[in-house]
Structure 1
Amino acid sequence: KSNNVGIILADGATLILTYNPNAGIIGDGDTVTPSFADLPIGFGRTKKFAYTTSVTDPIDFVMDVNGFKGPNSEARNGKQYDIRSFKVAKFSKGCAGVEVPNIGCVYVLPSWSPIKAGTDDMKKWDPKYDAVGYPADNYWAGAKKACDDIGMSLPDISKLQSIYKARRKDSSLGLPTSGDFWSSERHAWDANYVDLFNGSTSYDDKDGIYHSVLCIGD
């Protein structure tokens, strides 16, 4: 008897459905506080839905995200490895990155896609850019959307500089030691970023492809 079930999806992706029999179960009279998300319903339209994981706390999916052959591990020594928990990455109050005192959960986004100019997504995630008609793909808006997709947000300049100071104070946290990270502060065609090597601030066009992304959450 096992609490784990292996699943292979039609596209070849593998999942492990795991059940924790020791997790609490919602009972009669318990209060459930839902969260809300805009989900696509076709033809470029979205509808707001309420969801809760209160009744599915004992259940999780674990995904092999890169196919590396070796001991399965989500994180060791502050680095992400070959498996991810669906709930930690998307819904739960757990931190998929690093818990930083007085800042919260800090997660280095491994990858994300730009948003194409003139699309509905651009109108939603960066209407200033869309309004002036810039034709290039917008990597800053893509980063903002990617953080929101996992229930987190882009940090502002002040928060990024606090992360830089926290890294200087305690290197064992596993925070990035270099890289230009987008901030949430922007104008129509450019956005600010912070260099985590020295804490300096500058700006670049939103179609810049050489920037990194930190997402922050509670």
Structure 2
Amino acid sequence: MAGILRKVLQWALEHASNRKQFGMNLTEFGLIKEKIARTSVAVYAMESMAYLTAGTLDSLEDPDCSVEAAIVKVFSSEAAWKYGSECLQIMGGLGYMKSYPYERLLRDARILLIFEGTNEILRMFIALNGLQHAGNELKEMVKKLRNPLMNPGFILGKGLEKYRHTKDNPKLDLKLNEYLHPSLKLGSDALEYCVKRFQYAVEVCLSRHGI
């Protein structure tokens, strides 16, 4: 679907570059630029996720990438449906005609949200398996959280961490920006913020409800 979406985006770009409204090409309008940019980002993300997962499968002797594969499927199928629709929108009424490929793309993309496991089921699969793995890794931490009197130093550190999270200001100490070009620092900080908040949410769930 990433390859198909890339090709469809190319056709939509050609149309937008030649089609004029109000004396300007469609590519000069901000909303059209946004649609093209978001679709391009989605295609890049779809391809990157697929390559990363395939690389993991190839590099390990006994790989288990069921969660990663499910994540790729959910994201890519929904991106194909959403951004295929955006490409049709750029085409306007022409995109709905059978002589163009867009309406066929949307029909084909829609079934991907159902085949190979519905996305609703896969979301539960991702969450369940992710929490099971986190539970195994964080078992000792959860024991300490549930027995604060026996682990005062650990609880103090976690208390400071919790305070930062209540202020929506987690400590960004993963240093993801060191692996990226300096121009991507804002994006890496945003990603690191989301990772830290997600980590905190998982720890809270495990400490409240057990492993």
Report if TM-score (shorter chain) is over 0.5: no
- Name the TM-score, length of structure 1 as normaliser: 0.21
Query: Comparing both chains, which one has the higher relative contact order based on Cα–Cα distances under 8 Å and sequence gaps of 6 or more?
Result: 2
Higher helix share: 2
